[in-house]
């Protein structure tokens, strides 16, 4: 590849999307945090010392979506029409799914991914005391399988 979209003559640049068509866009991302069964149960029962894990993670996800341009270099600041954050608590995991919608000139995949990862990082922060072993390590806690599961682009 001879040309890069974000680098020109050794200078980093943001891609110009000014000539792109304004369209309705959406993206759905998901990810999972592996936890001990006791931790998953405590999250489900809202019995975590730091407070309501899922409510806090939902707020974190929405904030992250709205500020993705601030977290990722060269990411455009875009209008966000809507954010939906859902959680599933299983026997040994907490899964987050974030859907982002926008009417604009560039996609919302990064926003959805940023929302999912921030939600899961917040879950980790809120349950870390329960996940530590006797040596202060996290043998079972892991953020896994973060990915975009759907992307839609339609005429506005």
Residue pair 56/127 in contact (Cβ under 8 Å)? The answer is: no
Question: Which H helix or E strand runs over 101?
Answer: strand 93-104
Report residue 47 as tokens.
Answer: 């019995």
Rounded CA separation 41/36 (Å) = 9
Residue pair 33/120 in contact (Cβ under 8 Å)? The answer is: yes
Using the structure block, give the residue that is written with the tokens 């730091």.
50
Q: How far is CA 80 from the centre of its chain?
A: 14
Report residue 128 as tokens.
Answer: 């870390």
Indicate which residues carry an active-site annotation.
125
Rounded CA separation 149/99 (Å) = 10
């Amino acid at each position: 590849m001879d040309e890069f979209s974000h680098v020109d003559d050794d200078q980093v640049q943001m891609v110009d999307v000014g000539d792109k068509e304004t369209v309705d866009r959406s993206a759905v991302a998901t990810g999972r945090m592996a936890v001990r069964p006791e931790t998953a149960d405590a999250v489900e029962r809202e019995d975590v010392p730091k407070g309501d894990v899922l409510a806090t993670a939902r707020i974190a996800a929405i904030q992250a979506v709205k500020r993705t341009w601030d977290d990722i270099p060269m990411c455009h600041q875009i209008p966000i029409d809507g954010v939906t954050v859902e959680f599933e608590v299983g026997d040994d995991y907490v899964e987050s799914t974030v859907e982002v919608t926008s009417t604009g000139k560039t996609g919302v995949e990064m926003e959805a991914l940023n929302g999912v990862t921030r939600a899961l990082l917040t879950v980790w922060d809120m349950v870390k005391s329960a996940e530590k072993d006797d040596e202060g390590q996290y043998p079972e806690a892991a953020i896994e399988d973060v990915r975009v599961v759907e992307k839609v682009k339609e005429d506005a």
